[in-house]
Structure 1
Amino acid sequence: MPQFETLQDAANANTPEGLDYYWANVDHDAYFNAARMNQYLEVIEYVAHIYKCVPPNGLKVLDAGCGPGYFLQQFSGVFPRSTLMGIDYAVSAIEHAAKIVPDAR
């Protein structure tokens, strides 16, 4: 795996190796701080407002480039009956997502 001087260098490389390095070494608690969570919730609440006529079985959502899955985790709280899928080519991000959402498949 290539060496990166900083996590920003790894993220900026925009390669599977760079993103794996980034997600394997980032402090996930610092990454997902309250301000970032509020941004996610604002987007989700806006979507919820627009889609007042959500079908009873929910929505089908694909988050391409989901990282560790924080957005989908919050989205599931607003639309609990929805079918959600996150994909990312950073293996370590998906591994972290599996830890925070253990019942995901």
Structure 2
Amino acid sequence: MPDDIAALGKALRQLHQLPSPTEFHLPRTDILSRVRPRVTASPVSDDDKELLLQRCEELQEAVSQLQFPLDECAIHGDAHIKNMMISDAVPFSSTSRTSPGDSPSGTSRRRRLST
């Protein structure tokens, strides 16, 4: 498992070093887009749904005000070990949610810490 995590980290670092594509269009990731339908379909009370959806709106407004210090880059959108296919050659990760986005501050620029 640690080798898988290292492979995921390396793949994400390489992905984050890529600039956003200019030759074709990919929609930007809306990090809250999957939350709203789940809240709406959840078996909680209408009052709880209203509260959660209002919180989503507040979070959306807060996210829209964020400023990122690094240039926009390609981001994965759903990175985790279960989305990785590890082989002896090259690890591959699902790309279904890959999009342009704000670079995760510092993650693509950090060196691997020695243990």
Q: Confirm or deny a common fold (TM above 0.5).
A: no
TM-score normalised by structure 1 residue count: 0.24
Query: Greater share of helix residues, 1 or 2?
Result: 1
TM-score normalised by structure 2 residue count: 0.22
Structure whose alpha-carbon radius of gyration is higher: 2
With a CA cutoff of 8 Å and minimum separation of 6, indicate the structure with the bigger relative contact order.
Answer: 2
